[in-house]
Amino acid sequence: MEKILITGACGQIGTDLTFELRERYGNDNVVATDIKEPESEMKESGPFEFLDVMDAEKMHSLVKKYNITQIYHLAALLSGTAEKMPLKAWDINMQSLMNVLELGRTEKLNRIFWPSSIAVFGPSTPKQNTPQTCVMDPNTVYGISKLAGERWVQYYYEKYGVDTRSIRYPGLISYKAEPGGGTTDYAVEIFYEAIRKGEYTCFLKEDAALPMQFMPDAIKATIDLMEADSASLSVRSSYNVAGISFKPEEMVAEIKKHMPDLKVDYEPDFRQDIAESWPGSIDDTVAREDWSLKNEYDLERMTKVMLEEIGKKLK
Ligand code: SER
């Protein structure tokens, strides 16, 4: 039986992923870790340990303590936060990855999952249907750290045989845990503000198209990739995953079908520049061919579920 350790388990991806993996592999086989206090449901449903991902020794001791065979390393600073503290973000995002990769090598872990991002692309990257392999010239600290990380995960696979797997996530939309410090966060924030106040000020322009994905699709994609036969995987840097692409104004129009009185205005800040450097849509043919990636949610279905679930939460 696989024994899994998740870093950043209280984050946006980690929260959904921890519960799904516990469901699948058994509660006791999924060790959630984070630097912050977890929600009671996470603490009560399985093992939880405090872990600062910069503390390689503690990470090592947890791998030993629980006989860990797989790590999902999710802890990181996102794009907006990283621009405010570039050196710290570089340090945390890179050093923590190196700590995990080294453990993969020395402890002969079966598998490592590490998230990359559409942030690896930059101004010279083809904007629409961005191919799996193309020019990548990220101009954000977060994007630079993700691109460097992609090279390192591939390096550990090729040189040391560590079975690393990765997805270039688009913006992720979910209702369990809120994202923090990202450029795509508007697409989650808007639901909370719409329900709480009936109005929202968007920090991107109305036509800033970005690729996004609903969390249930992202979680399924992640687990499917981790469970795929190693021989079928042709990419060991990170897989493009497209999800659904839309502009803020298109999401607003969709929410307005349910909340016609919603008022939205646009006050783009520094994150607009980041959004402009990223693709508007992604080509994920390689992922579809290698491990049968498939999304279930479109903008309409996702919006309906988000409104229902966040509505229940804020009641
Ligand atoms: N959603 C992330 C961000 O906006 C991108 O990976 O920073």
307 touches ligand 1 (CB under 6 Å)? no
> Do 5 and 66 touch, CB atoms closer than 8 A?
yes
- 292 within some domain: no
142 is catalytic: yes
User: Do both 254 and 152 map to the same domain?
Assistant: no
User: Do both 220 and 256 map to the same domain?
Assistant: no
Number of compact structural domains in the chain: 2
Q: How far is the CA of 140 from the centre of ligand 1 (A)?
A: 11
* Residue 107, number of CB atoms within 10 A of its CB: 15
User: Do both 218 and 204 map to the same domain?
Assistant: no
The percentage of the chain sitting over the pLDDT mark of 70, rounded to a whole number, equals: 100
- 307 within some domain: yes
User: Do both 63 and 161 map to the same domain?
Assistant: yes
Cβ within 8 Å of residue 231, ≥6 positions away: none
Interval 14-23 mean pLDDT: 98
Block residue for tokens 């992202």: 218
Radius of gyration of the chain (CA): 19
How far apart (Å, rounded) are the C-alpha atoms in residues 162 and 169?
Answer: 21
- 289 within some domain: no
Distances (CA, A) of 276 to 148, 238, 279: 21, 22, 8
Confidence of residue 80 (pLDDT cuts 50, 70, 90): very high
- 55 within some domain: yes
User: Do both 203 and 227 map to the same domain?
Assistant: no
* Residue 64, number of CB atoms within 10 A of its CB: 11
Tokens read off for 303: 């919006």
Interval 267-271 mean pLDDT: 97
pLDDT recorded at residue 143: 98
- 104 within some domain: yes
Tokens read off for 46: 């399985």
> Do 169 and 115 touch, CB atoms closer than 8 A?
yes
User: How buried is 232 (Cβ within 10 angstroms: 0-12 exposed, 13-18 middle, 19+ buried)?
Assistant: exposed
Q: Is 314 strand, coil or helix?
A: coil
User: What are the backbone angles phi and psi of residue 113, rounded to the nearest 5°?
Assistant: -110, 135
Q: DSSP secondary-structure letter at 20?
A: H
The 3-state secondary structure of 24-67, one letter per residue: HHCHHHEEEEECCCCCHHHHHHCCEEECCCCCHHHHHHHHHHCC
287 touches ligand 1 (CB under 6 Å)? no
- 87 within some domain: yes
User: Do both 186 and 66 map to the same domain?
Assistant: no
Exposure pattern of 136-157 as b/e (b: 16+ CB <10 Å)?
Answer: bebebbbbbbbbebbebbbebb
pLDDT recorded at residue 105: 98
- 9 within some domain: yes
Q: Is 85 strand, coil or helix?
A: coil
* Ligand 1 atom nearest 146 alpha carbon: 6
Domain that includes residue 200, residue range? 172-212+244-280+297-313
Q: Which of 142, 270, 272, 276 to mutate to test the pocket of ligand 1 (most atoms within 8 A of CB)?
A: 142
User: Do both 236 and 100 map to the same domain?
Assistant: yes
How far apart (Å, rounded) are the C-alpha atoms in residues 41 and 252?
Answer: 32
Confidence of residue 4 (pLDDT cuts 50, 70, 90): very high
For the stretch 28-75, pLDDT in tens is: 999 999 999 999 999 999 999 999 999 999 999 999 999 999 999 999
For the stretch 145-185, pLDDT in tens is: 999 999 999 999 999 999 999 999 999 999 999 988 999 99
pLDDT recorded at residue 69: 98
- 287 within some domain: no
How far apart (Å, rounded) are the C-alpha atoms in residues 25 and 178?
Answer: 25
Distances (CA, A) of 140 to 36, 80, 119, 121, 277: 26, 9, 8, 10, 9
CATH number of the domain within which 177 lies:
3.90.25.10
> Do 178 and 190 touch, CB atoms closer than 8 A?
no
Q: Which residues pair with 118 in a beta bridge?
A: none
Confidence of residue 242 (pLDDT cuts 50, 70, 90): very high
- Average pLDDT over the chain reads 98
Residue ID of nearest Cα to ligand 1 atom 2 = 182
Q: How far is the CA of 78 from the centre of ligand 1 (A)?
A: 6
> Do 156 and 236 touch, CB atoms closer than 8 A?
no
pLDDT recorded at residue 153: 98
User: Do both 155 and 11 map to the same domain?
Assistant: yes
User: Do both 127 and 206 map to the same domain?
Assistant: no
How far apart (Å, rounded) are the C-alpha atoms in residues 153 and 146?
Answer: 10
Q: Which of 142, 157, 169, 200 is catalytic?
A: 142
Q: How far is the CA of 59 from the centre of ligand 1 (A)?
A: 25
Confidence of residue 92 (pLDDT cuts 50, 70, 90): very high
CATH number of the domain within which 222 lies:
3.40.50.720
pLDDT recorded at residue 183: 97
User: Do both 166 and 176 map to the same domain?
Assistant: no
User: Do both 190 and 42 map to the same domain?
Assistant: no
User: Do both 10 and 32 map to the same domain?
Assistant: yes
